[in-house]
Amino acid sequence: MTTLILGATGGIGSALVQSWPDNELYLSGRDEVKLQALAQPLNAKALKVDVGFESQVSKLFGELPDNLDTIVYAAGSAYPEALASAKAESVRHVWNANYFGLLWTLKYGLPKLASGGRLYVIGAREDLTTARGFSQYAASKAAVARLLTITRLEARGKTLTLVLPPAVDTGLWAQVGKVPKGAVTPQVVAEAIVADRSGAGQEELRV
């Protein structure tokens, strides 16, 4: 089986890399040094990509084989800040990582996904994105959910799963100050996705 993990150097992404059972694995991310460190022990192929640029995502999928079994979109960003002090650069960064990167992945990745293949996207629960400063994160993740709902109408024979974990103990929380009480480890999310991949498939996976 052949799998592509986007955002492989992040908390959930790197946990997926360590947990994924497939022997043909492609990893993408912006940090080439971290990518190579993840890829080499597993004999995986590392592909440096900034998902915010359509041209880079198009080139990525052009380098991949046809009939991918699984694509996991684990790229994401938060940059929490009050709306009154929102900066264009940080807003673009959040939307590029959370929404536009996924949009380009769906555009160029779905034709590469085999019939019966799976595409997983790390989303966010609405009840957990109500903190001050998270307006752009919450809005972009809500847009992701609607994007998948409509894309399913155009991707028959392929399963698009929105993964909805609780708070996850990743580097994202360093921007806020502390990890929320009860947060799960990235490994818990990774194991839930791996387990789901061997099942019948579903539109929503709550961890």
pLDDT at residue 28, rounded to an integer: 97
**pLDDT at residue 181, rounded to an integer:** 78
170, 10 in Cβ contact below 8 A?
yes
Tens-digit pLDDT profile for residues 70-107: 999 999 888 878 888 889 999 999 999 999 999 999 99
Q: Are 68 and 110 in contact (CB under 8 A)?
A: no
Band of residue 170 on the pLDDT scale cut at 50, 70, 90: confident
Q: What is the pLDDT of residue 156?
A: 87
* Tokens 């890829």, residue located: 39
The torsion defined by the Cα of 15, 21, 25 and 27, in degrees rounded to 10, comes to -10
pLDDT on residue 173:
67
* Amino acid letter, residue 187: Q
Tell me the per-residue pLDDT of 98-146, one tens digit each, with 9 for 90 and over: 999 999 999 999 999 999 999 999 998 887 777 778 899 999 999 999 9
Q: For residue 140, what pLDDT is reported?
A: 95
pTM of the model: 0.93
Considering the chain, what percentage of its residues have pLDDT values greater than 70?
Answer: 97
pLDDT at 24: 92
What count of residues does the chain have?
207
How far apart are the C-alpha atoms of 156 and 11, rounded to whole Å? 31
pLDDT tens digits for 174-187? 666 677 777 889 99
Q: Decide if 145 contacts 123 (C-beta within 8 A).
A: yes
Alpha-carbon dihedral angle through residues 199, 8, 130, 81, given to the nearest 10 degrees: -170
Q: What is d(CA 46, CA 32) in angstroms, rounded to the nearest whole number?
A: 8
Sorted by where each starts, the structural domains of the chain and their CATH numbers stand as 2-206 (3.40.50.720)
Mean pLDDT in the chain? 91
pLDDT-based confidence at residue 19 (cuts at 50, 70, 90):
very high
CA dist., res. 82 & res. 134, Å (int): 8
Write 198-203 long-range contacts (CB < 8 A, 24+).
201/118, 201/159, 201/161, 202/159, 202/161, 203/148, 203/152, 203/159, 203/160, 203/161, 203/162
Q: Where do runs of H (alpha helix) occur along the chain?
A: 11-19, 32-39, 54-62, 88-95, 101-109, 135-151, 186-197
Task: Judge contact between 27 and 46, C-beta under 8 A.
Answer: yes
